[in-house]
Amino acid sequence: MKQETKNPIYILGISCFYHDSAVVLIKDGQLIAAAQEERFTRKKHDDSFPAKAVEYCLKEAGITPANLSYVAFYDKPLLKFERIVTSFINSWPHGYKTWLRAMPVWLKEKLWTKVAISKNLPGYNGPIYFTEHHMSHAASSFFVSPFKEAAVLTVDGVGEWATTTWGVGKENKIELKKEIHFPESLGLFYSILTYYLGFKPNSAEYKVMGLAPYGHPKYVEVLRNLIKIYADGSFALNKKVFKGFYELGGFEKALARYFGFEKRKPEDPLEQKHKDLAASLQFITNEAMVTMAKHIQKETGLENLCMAGGVALNCVASSEVLKKSGFKNIFIQPAAGDAGGALGAAYYIWHQVLGNSRDFVQKHCFYGPEFGDEQIKIMLDKKEVVAEHLADEWLFNRVAQLIADQKVIGWFQGRMEWGPRSLGARSILADARNKGNWQRVNLKIKFRESFRPFAPSVLEEDSLEYFDFVEPAPYMLFTAKVKKDDVPAVTHVDKTARLQTVNQETNPRYHRLISEFKKITGCPVIINTSFNVRGEPIVCTPEDAFNTFIKTDLDFLVLGNYLLDKKEVIKKYPFVPPQISSSAD
């Protein structure tokens, strides 16, 4: 008798319409594909419906929308709309200009999310679930973590009403126990001061984090007048200053009175006062996060903590939580911001709605598109570019020697990373031993501010020799003290680095490259920064990589097993640096 074959269950998770639109596809509880829309449209932080990311995920699985079992959206638009309308009314007339801009978008698009999903998934007739924003964050971390039981902390700008939640995850269930509601928001507080420092809010908060070590926390007591942190980690903003959150310019005069200087314009030079304010903001953020985590650890008595939400990407604060909160282990999902909400929504349906047990742990983030040498060759032929094809036994040693010879490399291998960090699939690489590479890569290749630090990639087995961090750190989500003086290009001014440990099993080609570099130089550490220029998303396709190569000061480009020399390519494609506005990310 023929045995029946069970149809697989496919769940598509979607996040969009705020920033960092993304799609995730899981099959019977296993993560199959994940990508942000910006990588395909080349529009940084693209918030539109992620049609191209949907197309990729379905293609990766070899299915059509009709094969999907469930679709999950990462928040509840109607509840969010209620909060927005209520908040506008309560803060009227503050923000009325933003109200006039926002309402057409809500009435035309955001309130009709279900229609947009149905329109972009022709042939799908199954249910569409809407999970609450912070539950999506919580699920995105706990359900793919290695922990059977853990406390969960989510912190961001705002979801529907919640800005911060904590709870407990056990096996295949999460219970959120406490919430902090809008307008009390640590994420929005950080974003407002990011704006005041002349950077783009909801986008460039990481710049403030990188700027902070150059300053001294002289404004901490001033900030305590703007945000009060209570013993249980809850907090409240000064309502005399923060009357409404819909016109950022409305805070400028009040904040100028507190700080004694006006808002910095994006093109203005960074002065010591700006660095001191960044340091003070980071100090307060660390304090708030550690206080919250300590309270949660005391309440739950658990050893494990899962974190998500945009504030969880603040690796300095997360490192302080790890050191001071009492939790022994912390897992942060690498796409911790809104993009990761798509992951959480999908796994919430799989576990909490459908009741399935857990059998997946996220050990890497390589879930994006992959391009083989045949596809790369087609692109190179189209561009009429001659490239050297090297077998593996020659490629890794050759590229490692180029890095040792102080060449800067564009490195394009395998499936694209999921999340905001380049981790050895779409990366720019250089020698960490040469301090001059810090400025060269920042100014001539990335076209970005000179103060921005670079992350080290280190062989996992050699990590403790160079960095004071015991556990593997594959996602650049924690900082560590640098133990040695011979990697100055990845050592920030406070003697720390945002660490990436490279594992042979989960990242074999990148591990092999660094191993070859170690054989040549004795050093298992290289610079790793994202393969993009300021204001653009990380590259996705071979053509994206080639286009970035020809408009930067990169020396060589490695596409799969193809090696391109700038000296040869420039004969056909003269170097013309990109035009980048002062307001670019």
Q: Are residues 119 and 252 in the same domain?
A: no
Place of tokens 């950077």: 199
| 348 and 265 within one domain | no
pLDDT score recorded for residue 2: 42
As a whole number of angstroms, the longest Cα–Cα distance in the chain is 83
CA-to-CA distance for 487 and 295, rounded, in angstroms? 38
pLDDT tens by residue, 473-492: 999 999 999 999 999 999 99
CATH classification of the domain holding 496: 3.90.870.20
Long-range contacts made by residues 230-235, C-beta under 8 angstroms, separation at least 24?
230/291, 231/291, 231/295, 232/291, 232/292, 232/295, 233/288, 233/291, 233/292, 233/293, 233/294, 233/295, 233/296, 234/164, 234/180, 234/184, 234/292, 235/180, 235/184, 235/186, 235/288
**Co-location of 327 and 342 in the same domain:** no
Are 345 and 386 contained in the same domain?
A: no
Distances 556 to 178, 405, 411, 466 between C-alpha atoms, Å:
52, 12, 9, 28
Considering the domain architecture, whether residues 326 and 341 belong to the same structural domain is answered as no
Residue pair 355/524 in contact (Cβ under 8 Å)? The answer is: no
Identify the residue whose tokens are 């099959």.
27
Q: Which amino acid is at 118?
A: S
User: Which pTM does this prediction carry?
Assistant: 0.94
User: What pLDDT was estimated at residue 239?
Assistant: 86
Per-residue pLDDT tens for 490-537? Answer: 999 999 999 999 999 999 999 999 999 999 999 999 999 999 998 899
Domain end among 332, 365, 390: 332
For 176-194, the pLDDT digits (tens) are 999 999 989 999 999 999 9
Residue 164 is assigned to a structural domain of this protein: no
* 323 and 347 part of one domain: no
In a domain, 429, yes or no: yes
The torsion of the CA quartet 420, 424, 425, 426, rounded to 10 degrees, works out to 60
Query: In a structure prediction context, what are the per-residue pLDDT tens digits for the chain, which is 585 residues long?
Result: 444 458 999 999 999 998 899 999 999 999 999 999 999 999 999 999 999 999 999 999 999 999 999 999 999 988 887 777 776 656 666 665 665 666 677 667 777 899 999 999 999 999 999 999 999 999 999 999 999 999 999 999 999 999 999 999 999 999 999 999 998 999 999 999 999 999 998 888 999 999 999 999 999 999 999 999 999 999 999 988 887 655 555 688 889 999 999 999 998 999 999 999 999 999 999 999 999 999 999 999 999 999 999 999 999 999 999 999 999 999 999 999 999 999 999 999 999 999 999 999 999 999 999 999 999 999 999 999 989 999 999 999 999 999 999 999 999 999 999 999 999 999 999 999 999 999 999 888 888 888 888 999 999 999 999 999 999 999 999 999 999 999 999 999 999 999 999 999 999 999 999 999 999 999 999 999 999 998 899 999 999 999 999 999 999 999 999 999 999 999 999 887 777 655 555
Please, how many CA atoms are within 13 Å of residue 411, restricted to the half-sphere of its CB? Answer: 29
Element (H, E) at 288: helix 272-300
Q: What is the span of the domain harbouring residue 565?
A: 373-569
Core vs surface per residue 395-428: b (16+ CB within 10 A) or e: bbbebbebbbeebbbbbbbbbbbbbbbbbbbbbb
Same domain, 188 and 326: yes
Same domain, residue pair 388 and 239: no
pLDDT for res 3: 46
Quick one: pLDDT at residue 78? 82
Query: In sequence order, which residues have a C-beta less than 8 Å from that of residue 249 and are 6 or more positions away?
Result: none
Give the per-residue pLDDT at 79: 82
Residue 168 counted as domain residue: no
Q: Is residue 71 part of a domain?
A: yes
Whether 510 maps to a domain, the answer reads yes
Tokens read off for 6: 């069970």
Q: Is residue 173 part of a domain?
A: no
Do 134 and 103 share a domain, yes or no? yes
Q: What is the pLDDT of residue 4?
A: 46
Query: Could you tell me if 558 and 415 lie in one domain?
Result: yes
- 196 with 300, same domain: the answer is yes
Token pair belonging to 291: 């206080």
Sign of the alpha-carbon torsion through 479, 483, 489, 494: positive
Claim to verify: residue 448 and residue 391 sit in the same structural domain: yes
Q: Is residue 508 part of a domain?
A: yes
* CATH number of 18's domain: 3.30.420.40
Structural domains counted in the chain: 3
Peptide bond into 183 cis (omega under 30): yes
Q: Is residue 206 part of a domain?
A: yes
H-type helices in 412-565, by residue range? 436-440, 463-466, 508-521, 542-550
